Amino acid sequence: MAGGGALFGGSFDPVHVAHLIVAEAAADALGSNVRFLPAREQPLKRGARAGHVATPEQRAEMLDLAVAGNSRFSVERVELALPTPSYTVRTLRALGGTGGGGEGNRFTLLLGADAARDLAEWWEVEALPELADIVVFARPGASVVRHPLIKRVIPVPSIDLSATQVRERVKQGRSIRYLVPEPVREYIGTHGLYR
């Protein structure tokens, strides 16, 4: 499954240590590099649920800072140039000409157990099997929905941390040290994000 590499999509508003721990566990389990794929606008989180505070480019810049120094991690900005909302099928097709797709160079799409529950609602979900293998990461005790598109479930450490919690702490003037990588913490402060 390692051919085209693993793609880990999300809002990353902001990226935090739980994202990085999950990606490291996935890289180990799959023997693959992981490309973080910041969504420009997630279709299932539109309107009031969207909650994107940082711009897509700011979220990508924070990811660059977070993954620096880990040779298995990179940031893929393809969705930032695509029309909104950020449909996974559209993204995978766009990546087809840049080192993905094709036999032996296939993508692995990493999904959390919560995102996997929404698979039936995805735009053109029936096209996914020709574009990528779906691997779900699950924390201990988390239930994973059964779906014919899910090729594998990999265990990841359980860390109770979300971007919403990080944003709320910043808004309240509380410390986020050790919840996000230090360069990301500095970026948030310098740019006045989430206040």
Q: 48 falls in which pLDDT band (50, 70, 90)?
A: very low
Give the CATH number for residue 164: 3.40.50.620
Rg from Cα positions in the chain: 16
- Per the structure, the complete domain to which residue 148 belongs is given by 5-191
Tell me the average pLDDT across 57-71.
97
The total domain count for the chain is 1
Question: For residue range 73-115, what is the model confidence (pLDDT) as tens digits?
Answer: 999 999 898 877 778 888 888 888 444 444 445 799 999 888 8
Q: 154 falls in which pLDDT band (50, 70, 90)?
A: very high
Q: Is the pLDDT of residue 2 over 50?
A: no
